[in-house]
Amino acid sequence: MIEHYFAALASSFERNANATAAAGYKAYMRNKSEFYGLSSPLRRQLLKEFLLHAGYPPYEQLDDMVRFAWEQPQREWQYVAMEMTVKYIKKADPGLINLAEWMITHKSWWDSVDFIAPNIAGIMFLRFPELKMQYIENWMQSGHLWLQRSCLIHQLRYADTLDRELLFMLCERLADHPDFFIRKAIGWSLRQYSKLEPAAVTGFVNSHELSNLSRKEALKVINRKNQIQ
């Protein structure tokens, strides 16, 4: 059982828990989750040590592993599950996209979504491009804040393989969205693309009605370079 598999890691987390840090993390995350109070480097080191002995469960147990982690009150467990899931992508079937969607829509907050969207969902879309637009359209039409944010940021790791038409279409469709996290994601995705095609991003921003936040974020890199010149 997954609970027995993770028993040693649970003991390790408990031994290294820091109540003061946990309170700080909880406050920073607006009391969305409990924490052990482990820093990211420490958490990853403890996970690495655990995996050296326990190894990874077979792919067939990934769903159970993720759901177990999501049932735990401490946020570190969700981080563990997300980081472990990445290791399964090369051998995964399309069902992993459904699991990524479930992860995005449960215990949702920016810290989990901003990892899952580009590092799991986005990479799975590269592996199964024939499924991409079906999910993107479903997520856009869902009205779900975090699924829509995932649409905007799923290409963050694509570099020069990014689909510009899709990026601009998604930004345009969500341009008048009132939520901070969508407006921020519009700017973030455009800013990332501006590192490759600054003229294209400048042209898009100047020809569309974007929120001040989206516009500021989108042009941040471009404006910084202009100031240096």
Domain limits, the chain: 158-229
How far is 147 from 170, CA to CA, in rounded Å? 12
Cα radius of gyration rounded to whole Å, the chain: 19
DSSP state of 118: I
pLDDT averages per 10-residue partition of the chain, 229 residues = 96 98 98 98 98 97 98 98 98 98 98 98 98 98 98 97 98 98 98 98 98 98 79
Instruction: Assign 197 to helix, strand or coil.
Output: coil
Quick one: pLDDT at residue 227? 74
Class in CATH terms, 158-229: mainly alpha
Which has the closest alpha carbon to 173: 130, 136, 128, 225? 136
